[in-house]
């Protein structure tokens, strides 16, 4: 990967901090079940918004890294994560998992409770770990690039 600018590094670090805060907030909902999701409007809004925030933060980071690497601008959010994997910025398995999370963001914005719940449940089960792994891998790349 090409060296990133100080400005890019600061922007990524700021987003990584935001991502870490949102991850901690989401952990409060890890035991959420369908009944709570369906009946507790505040919790439902909170968990949906936190997940959207996480996905957007990761996408923002991906776009900065893609620009820093002078890679082709992706046509979709899914492709942004795939490009990070292909460029070796994050591992390919994680890139594929995050590409699916990009799909989650779109569905959260446009679908009904039953459809959303399946994605929320999946995110609570695996997405938190995926986002933590993304955060760690990006932090490691930043440290490597800044040395």
Could you report the per-residue pLDDT of 41-86, keeping only the tens digit for each?
A: 999 999 999 999 999 999 999 999 999 888 888 988 899 999 999 9
pLDDT tens readout for residues 14-51:
999 999 999 999 999 999 999 999 999 999 999 999 99
In terms of Cα–Cα distance, which of 83, 71, 61 is closest to 134?
A: 61
Enumerate domains of the chain plus CATH numbers.
6-146 (1.20.120.580)
Give CA–CA dist 47/81, Å, rounded: 22
> Is the pLDDT at 146 greater than 70, yes or no?
no
Give CA–CA dist 118/123, Å, rounded: 9
- DSSP H or E segment with residue 112: none
């Amino acid at each position: 990967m090409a060296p990133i600018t100080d400005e890019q590094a600061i922007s990524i670090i700021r987003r990584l901090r935001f991502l870490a805060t949102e991850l901690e907030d989401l952990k409060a909902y890890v035991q959420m079940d369908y009944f709570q999701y369906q009946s507790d409007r505040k919790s439902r809004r909170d968990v949906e918004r936190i997940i959207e925030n996480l996905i957007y933060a990761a996408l923002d980071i991906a776009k900065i890294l893609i620009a820093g690497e002078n890679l082709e601008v992706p046509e979709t959010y899914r492709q942004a994560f795939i490009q990070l994997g292909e460029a070796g910025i994050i591992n390919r398995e994680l890139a594929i998992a995050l590409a699916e999370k990009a799909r989650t963001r779109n569905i959260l914005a446009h679908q009904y409770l039953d459809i959303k719940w399946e994605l929320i449940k999946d995110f609570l089960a695996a997405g938190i770990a995926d986002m933590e792994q993304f955060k760690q891998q990006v932090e490691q790349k930043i440290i490597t690039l800044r040395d």
